[in-house]
Amino acid sequence: MAQANGESTSSALPAVGGDRRVRVHHLAAAKAAGERLTMLTAYDAPTARIFDASGIDMLLVGDSIGDNMLAHESTIPVTIDELLPAVRAVSRSTTRAMVVADLPFGSYESGPEQALASAVRMMKEGGAHAVKFEGGARVAEHVRVITGAGIPVVGHIGFTPQSEHMLGGKRVQGRGEDAAERLCEDAIALQEAGAVAVVLEMVPAPVAARASEILQIPTIGIGAGPSCDGQVLVWLDMAGMGDWSPRFAKQFAQLGAQLQQAAAEYAAEVRLGTFPAAEHSYAD
């Protein structure tokens, strides 16, 4: 990483632009060194290449593809067969980022054996480097079985979108002393089962800070405050690709408006006959 005076210091993570992949041991080393981890979603080759070249440490091929790319109302309808092509595209297009594939709803709830079979598909058919799925202590045995097979697992607690109907909608989780204690217990259960990191979604910042303090594995926050060991956002929210984004997201660009303007200018030039011009045509 770079210091304020411009001098470079060694980092726990592979160099940006190099050909070394971010691995499980790099995540642990980054937490130990106090280096913040970066994660974005990615669903296709072009964006995956851009994010990989920009130095994003982990790319999540999330079931958020459902409500962001496939026009579903939620993540719940997404299937493994829908998600696998995206996992393949992202894993084939990157050289540095760790590619983490979600296990969608219905692909692991029946038990550890189903979860392992789904995780194997993501690794073998998709080329993923790790899998992520939702739940705390209730899925600890799933985590234990999958990691026992040599597949890294990222946990996901707090607001879990696949359980949206049971949770009563998109609601902050971990409020109140009892709920906060249960969340921390879930985080510890995932760590003890072998998870390599835990996503904390829509959790009060003090609770996320407490979980980050007691865990030896990194926490990755989304709507969980600044004290997590890393952060993740849906890339469309980060880049301003829509007219709305969650309260916890920051739009670092307005790509949606820029893309709309580019398309409008293209259409106008085609209709006027100014595109294609001579330089865009073959002479013979």
Catalytic residue among 73, 201, 213, 265: 201
pLDDT tens digits, 162-191: 988 888 778 888 999 999 999 999 999 999
Residue 150 backbone dihedrals phi, psi, to 5 degrees = 90, 20
In Å, how far are 102, 103, 133, 192, 196 from 106, measured between CA atoms?
12, 8, 11, 24, 23
Q: Is 141 a catalytic residue?
A: no
Among 16-20, 97-101, 124-128, 158-162, the least confident range: 16-20
Specify burial of residue 215 (Cβ count, 10 A radius: 0-12, 13-18, 19+).
buried
Instruction: State both tokens at 42.
Output: 């990615």
SS3 annotation, 40-109 = EECCCHHHHHHHHHCCCCEEEECCCHHHHCCCCCCCCCCCHHHHHHHHHHHHHCCCCCEEEEECCCCCCC
Instruction: State both tokens at 103.
Output: 């296990």
CA 55, 61, 63, 66: dihedral to nearest 10 degrees? Answer: 90
pLDDT tens digits, 260-277: 999 999 999 999 999 999
pLDDT tens digits, 220-271: 999 999 999 999 999 999 999 987 788 899 999 999 999 999 999 999 999 9
Beta bridge partners of 102: 132
For residues 175 and 172, give the distance between their C-alpha atoms in angstroms, rounded to a whole number.
Answer: 7
Confidence of residue 202 (pLDDT cuts 50, 70, 90): very high
Residue type, 151: I
User: What pLDDT shows up at residue 30?
Assistant: 98
User: What's the topology of domain 24-253?
Assistant: TIM Barrel (3.20.20)
Q: Is the pTM of this model over 0.85?
A: yes
Q: Where in the chain is the domain with CATH 3.20.20.60?
A: 24-253
